[in-house]
Amino acid sequence: MKFFPDFRNQFSGYQSALKPKDVVRLNANEGRVLNPYREYPLKRNEKILEQFANLYGVEKMNLIADRGVDGILELIFLVFNSPTTRVLTSAPTYGMYKILADIYGQEYFEVPLKGDGSLNSEFLLQSQRPGQIIIICRPNNPTGDICPKEQIEEVLKATQGNSLVVLDEAYADYLDSKEQGLDLLTRYQNLLICRTLSKYYSLAGLRVGFGIANSALVEKLIPYQSPYPVPSIVSDWLVENFNEDFISSANEEFQQMEIEKLKLIEVLTAFGKVKDSKSNFVNLYTAESKRLYETLKSFNVEVRLFEQLNFLRFSIGTQSEMQRLYTSLEHIR
Ligand SMILES: Cc1ncc(COP(=O)(O)O)c(C=O)c1O
């Protein structure tokens, strides 16, 4: 695995206490009052891994669960941090990549996206440099752009396995399955895909996300993970509730969200140029972005301002949240 930092190869990580059946475990210093959460959780909860391996059409060994995609990204930055690592991504994109690069003291290099949302040829050129964490956010936050899938393959080919390519698919559940990147995994050993329960499945508060990659890469990451990445109360909740009915209602909710999104687009058109996305947000481009942001804030409605780029990002919220937004916008018009 050329792209894995050599100096990390010998590390085996913290060995958390396992609990085989029928063994009296007096080796973990847990408290002695009986309650459902007395014991430390498992580092790799097989039930959860199986459940989500099925959802993503991979094997358990291809999956690593953590505290949201943010937790997975943090793990990646921790493991691939070396004095020469460079982070390559396109701009504008999800702000945590830069923050993590700053935290880990890594060089951060951004190449602007093209106007049509595709990756710049400069990005492809830069991806040839070895020893990088290359991050592609698709659909991209905050622009909603979806770069052509062929470009991801071009990047994967350009790296020749010398860098890690991270495909942040936090919003990919909103895409048709063939538009998603999961099928690339069998062909590229240096690809890691991030998925989350926070967006399409409306479970941001659980803090669960997944890294999906070939098993050799997953095995390399596991030792660096914190000993108990998913709390028992969260995995219990998922085992109990994240079933076929839950997925069907998320799919139905997606249809409702699309209707709401069309309504929002119609309302926002009065304020500037609206850009739809295949995600759960739309963007309003206007030279008045700051003023509109402040005004909405005065109505206690928070949207996301990208002042330098002259746009506002509106998440599609609950019905009552959207109603508050529409009422505020009516007052502003
Ligand atoms: C592109 C992108 N990646 C990752 C995340 C974080 O997701 P999670 O809630 O799974 O940590 C977000 C959240 O807004 C995001 O927009």
Q: Is 137 in the pocket of ligand 1 (CB under 6 A)?
A: yes
User: Spelled out in words, what is the top-level CATH class assigned to the domain 6-242?
Assistant: alpha beta
Å from CA of 157 to ligand 1 middle:
26
Q: Is 198 in the pocket of ligand 1 (CB under 6 A)?
A: yes
- Please give the number of the atom of ligand 1 that sits closest to the Cα of 73: 4
Q: Is 196 in the pocket of ligand 1 (CB under 6 A)?
A: yes
State pLDDT tens for residues 1-46. 888 888 888 888 887 766 667 788 888 899 999 999 999 998 899 9
pTM of the model: 0.96
Å from CA of 71 to ligand 1 middle:
10
Phi first, then psi, for residue 243 (nearest 5°) are -115, -170
CATH number of 245-332: 3.90.1150.10
Q: Is 209 in the pocket of ligand 1 (CB under 6 A)?
A: yes
State pLDDT tens for residues 217-233. 999 999 999 999 999 99
State pLDDT tens for residues 59-117. 999 999 999 999 999 999 999 999 999 999 999 999 999 999 999 999 999 999 999 99
What sign does the CA torsion over 26, 31, 35, 39 have? Answer: negative
- Asked if 312 and 288 count as a contact pair (C-beta separation under 8 A), the reply is no
In the chain, where are the structural domains located? 6-242, 245-332
Distance CA 17, CA 23 (A): 12
